[in-house]
A and B are shown apart, each in its own frame.
Chain A
Amino acid sequence: MRTLLLTELYKIGTRPRSYIGFVAITAIVLLIELALWLDGEAYIGFILQSLEQSFDVQGRILNGQLVAFVILQTLIVQMPLLVALISGDLISGEAAAGTIRLLMTRPYTRGEVLWAKFTAASIYVFLLILWLGLLALGGGMLFFGGGDLIVLKSDGLIILKEADTLWRFFAAFGISFLSLSVVSTFSLMLSCFTDNSIGPIIASMAVIILFTIIGTLEVPLFERITPFLFTTHMIVWRNLFDFPLDIPLLLRSSAVLVGHILVFLGISFYHFSKKDIQH
């Protein structure tokens, strides 16, 4: 089983597209950090201008915590697309390349093969989030220093003490891992249904974009659907930066995400174990 997992990791590691995510994250994070380094004070000034008419806001507002938070806000919405790029062709890519029959001749059950692919995809997701965390939080702290975190919202601000932020970031990365694992298993599931390499990737992206649009538009019809979309629960990491914490909401959304992973994985196992492999 370990050999199978290492083989899957090797396959992911040797594909150039696996590095698109890391390159994209690096470029975006460095770009945001550079922009905030140059114009961050003006950006903060614009946000706080209505409050600064009445108050003297003291302290280091533009700091590593705020930079990391801004980066997470910007990037985590886009990251599912980077994940789907890898997990969407884990099975269908093999089918399209004709290597799946060869894979099935090895002394492993189909369940073990799928499990190895799922685990490899999860490790990829973990590394992607780890890289994001290192660049966003580590880079932010390195270039901007620490301090209290101002959580920016369009209709208010929450100020969290510096000592109270680090665990929230780690928990946010944890929930992001769950969220991206939903995308990963969703595209893996689609990948089991087709022999076309690109189809599941495009389909996963389309579903995420559609669900995100439905979740963003404040139309009464959509608002009834929104709680049932997994994309709604994927952004619950933001609620970790609320004060006070809405623990039931966090637990509910995390449970919904885990539920989605189990359902998508269950369907994948069921279909893949009965799949008629012809190519």
Chain B
Amino acid sequence: MRTVLITWLAYLSVVSANAQGNPKQLLQAVNRKFAQVSDYSANLNMQFNIPSVALEPVSGKVYYKAPDKFRIKATGILFMPRQNPYYTLQSIRDTNAYTAVFAGQEQVGTVRTTVINVIPYDNAGELILARLWIDPARQLILKSQLTTKTNGTILVEQFYGAMQQKGLPDRIRFSIDVARFKVPKTVAIDLNSKSKNQSLPAKGTGIIELSFSGYTLNQKLSDSVFREEAQGN
């Protein structure tokens, strides 16, 4: 099934490449823009809207170092996507590792975007398919839909501001499939509560929004910043 899909998309790729140019060129342009950043630190505010979980916004500090080091330092408990915010960019860095196919054009907000499907060659990898909505004028990914093996489908929307020249977003919103939270009352020691929410769907969408501010770029961050401390706080 995967082979058929790749063959079909490869065929489409050839047809559309003739019509619109090579999609990998656009992806490379996106990569080049982000490659100007070797590392950064920034202030981070995280907001959560996860079904069955009440969690107040959390503030902290975020650190990134190319190619794939990412760390959030914040006090307290927080829920993060299993992939780091640059997972999409990391996935498209090696243009020989996937097939890229034009999938038309779509409006995202006020921007006419080029839609590209990315299918990795590596069957064992976590990513099955990435669908990217790219602003061709600014060479920025505005939206990506990642279909993963273990975490279902994740929608990542990126909103740019002052740092768009470097490919860094002001805000990233993750929409993630979440199974309904349910544990036995005896396990939660919640014996006296009344049952409710019986009619809730088995699945919902959890939203995590990261807002970045005060970026400091290319300061040669030490690897020790990315090491986990003994306790997870």
Contacts and interface: CB of A to CB of B under 8 A. Distances in A.
B50 A55 contact: yes
B77 A74 contact: no
A92 B220 CA distance: 79
A61 interface: yes
Contacts of A215: 192
Interface string A5-45: 00000000000000000000000000000000000000100
A4 B82 CA distance: 66
A99 interface: no
Contacts of B80: 55-58
A159 interface: yes
A133 B216 CA distance: 46
A54 B189 contact: no
Interface residues of A, number: 39
From B197, B231, B233, residue with most partner A Cβ within 10 Å:
B233
Contacts of B78: 57-59
Contact of A148 (B76, B184, B194): B76
B82 A55 contact: yes
B196 interface: yes
A2 to B, nearest CB: 40
A255 B233 CA distance: 40
Interface stretch (B96-104, B130-138, B174-182): B174-182
A70 interface: yes
B81 interface: yes
A174 B53 CA distance: 27
Interface in A135-190: 145, 147-148, 150, 152-159, 161-162
A46 B50 CA distance: 19
Contacts of B72: 58
Interface residues of B, number: 45
A1 interface: no
Interface string B38-76: 000000000000101111100000000000000010111
B77 A59 contact: yes
B193 interface: yes
A160 B187 CA distance: 20
A156 B54 contact: yes
A276 interface: no
B11 interface: no
B76 A156 contact: no
Contact of B206 (A54, A157, A243): A54
Contacts of B185: 154
B150 interface: yes
B199 to A, nearest CB: 12
B49 to A, nearest CB: 12
Contacts of A235: 192
Contact of A55 (B75, B79, B232, B233): B79
Given A51-B178, A159-B53, A154 B77 contact: no
Given A70-B189, A238-B192, A157 B52 contact: yes
Nearest to A234: B192
A50 B177 CA distance: 11
A77 interface: yes
Given A59-B233, A152-B190, A54 B183 contact: no
From B77, B184, B206, B208, residue with most partner A Cβ within 10 Å:
B77
Interface of B: 50, 52-56, 72, 74-82, 150-152, 176-185, 187-197, 206, 208, 231-233
5 contacts: A59-B77, A154-B182, A155-B181, A155-B182, A216-B191
